[in-house]
Chains A and B, each alone.
Chain A
């Protein structure tokens, strides 16, 4: 049995006296792409801050590569829901990517710069390295954030609804970009989203969360062929079956609440 990349056991977390996470258990194996889907306000962002070490848990345990978390660990990168705030507007795109590598050791400044350019090229932004984030579109800003996250060569990528605020076409493009990058760089990914279709399209496994205090109510394998295709995958009978199942679960929670 190999050690899971990420392991959360019976995690509980309250914010300002309100229980947000209530006994949540999940784990991610090396190379897996996991989607975590749950209704808005159920505690997805709170969960990610706990999984990334930004917040301590009240009870239970989170471990990363076998080590109990105590603050953000080396080897993990986080992509935030609000990209426009997560980039530093006073730094050019390439400098934002470089900023993600501040903690990288044993790499010269030239190598870092070369790596930053390489990552910007990988997300399709070679021509925009000297632009500032506010000079490019929202989708491009999220691409810069992705490049910054990947630049430090993390083993695990945590993504908090990264595409919630971009238009449909851009969303589809970045979904496919993320899938190909995850494959190319062999990343383990945990994507949080409230979009059921996105959750299934992206993942090897979909975890469905309950309302607050949130916990796992379903953990479903996604046996869809890869690479995924925006048109073919979404019309597979298996896709539609999973979609119906997840939507029914979420609908049942809404009536229960």
Chain B
């Protein structure tokens, strides 16, 4: 287990304390104190948890699809010259389009159900992962390919057993960016294509001026986001122990 990060915890408590005091002093119903939000979280815990499960489920499915498609696709674009020539301009053109802008298209083709929201998540996650994979395989030392070739491996074997694992540190950076984006877009997609999920919960709370309930949802998302990020950070340290050990960064053996 890692040590507790005491300064960060102290900072968090101070900020919450400041919130509490400021809200109590202000007496504005749009700015309830933290204790009220905590009470709302307690009261709505079941609803919020159920909604977050939906949100997380879609984020996870979208992320998984993006990883499964974009990692091999990026490796191909990075390694095969003519595929790079064809697809890189397209990737660079699509990349700056914000996910909400594709909502109408997702809605049109995939509907307002799970499919439409997952499509938006896949779209968002695709780019950091794709770019990580392209850059990752290109950063590999050419010597690694020679090792595979001298062992008489096929191009596909070299890609699967040498290129991709060697590129994992950079690909993982892309995946971790995608994880954060997946959660964010999962919530945004719910707010745009309303059916269920924590995004809809937030929207309904706002519409009905249930400010404390809404903030309780926000706090819940923040906590879940933190935990998910932490999970992937641990996964990264574990899978890439070899990388951190050979580059002298972070912890040694995972």
B246 engages A134 (CB within 8 Å): yes
Q: Could you say which residues of chain B place their CB within 8 Å of the CB of A90? A: 165, 168, 242
| Chain B positions 238-254 with a Cβ under 8 Å from a chain A Cβ | 242-243, 245-246, 253
| Chain A positions 69-115 with a Cβ under 8 Å from a chain B Cβ | 71-74, 76-78, 80, 82, 84-86, 88-90, 99-100, 102-103
Q: A89-B242, A89-B243, A134-B245 are known contacts. Are A103 and B143 too (CB-CB below 8 A)?
A: no
| Chain B positions 60-84 with a Cβ under 8 Å from a chain A Cβ | none
Interchain CB contact (< 8 A) of A54 among B146, B161, B166: B146
Tally of contact residues, B, Cβ under 8 A: 21
Convert A199-217 into 0s and 1s, putting 1 for each residue whose CB lies closer than 8 angstroms to a CB of B: 0000000000000000000
| Chain B positions 152-181 with a Cβ under 8 Å from a chain A Cβ | 152-153, 157, 161-162, 165-166, 168
Q: A85-B144, A86-B143 are known contacts. Are A134 and B150 too (CB-CB below 8 A)?
A: no
The distance in angstroms between the C-alpha atoms of A132 and B147, with both chains bound, is 18
Q: Could you say which residues of chain B place their CB within 8 Å of the CB of A73? A: 152
How many A-B residue pairs have C-beta atoms within 8 angstroms? Tell me. 54
Q: Could you say which residues of chain A place their CB within 8 Å of the CB of B245? A: 89, 132, 134-135
B165 engages A88 (CB within 8 Å): yes
A52 engages B162 (CB within 8 Å): no
- The answer to whether the Cβ of A10 comes within 8 Å of any Cβ in the partner chain is no
Q: A80-B143, A85-B144, A102-B157 are known contacts. Are A72 and B150 too (CB-CB below 8 A)?
A: yes
Q: Could you say which residues of chain A place their CB within 8 Å of the CB of B25? A: none
Closest to B143 in A: A85
The distance in angstroms between the C-alpha atoms of A52 and B141, with both chains bound, is 19
Q: Could you say which residues of chain A place their CB within 8 Å of the CB of B242? A: 89-90, 132, 134
The distance in angstroms between the C-alpha atoms of A161 and B109, with both chains bound, is 60
The distance in angstroms between the C-alpha atoms of A82 and B253, with both chains bound, is 23
Q: Could you say which residues of chain A place their CB within 8 Å of the CB of B9? A: none
- The answer to whether the Cβ of A56 comes within 8 Å of any Cβ in the partner chain is no
Q: A80-B143, A85-B141, A89-B246 are known contacts. Are A72 and B152 too (CB-CB below 8 A)?
A: yes
Closest to B161 in A: A99
A73 to chain B, nearest CB (A): 8
The distance in angstroms between the C-alpha atoms of A209 and B35, with both chains bound, is 82
Question: Taking beta carbons and an 8 Å cutoff, which residues of A are in contact with B?
Answer: 49, 52, 54, 71-74, 76-78, 80, 82, 84-86, 88-90, 99-100, 102-103, 132, 134-135, 152
The 6 tightest CB contacts between A and B, nearest first, are A89-B242, A78-B150, A103-B152, A90-B242, A134-B246, A85-B143
Question: Taking beta carbons and an 8 Å cutoff, which residues of B are in contact with A?
Answer: 141, 143-144, 146-147, 149-153, 157, 161-162, 165-166, 168, 242-243, 245-246, 253
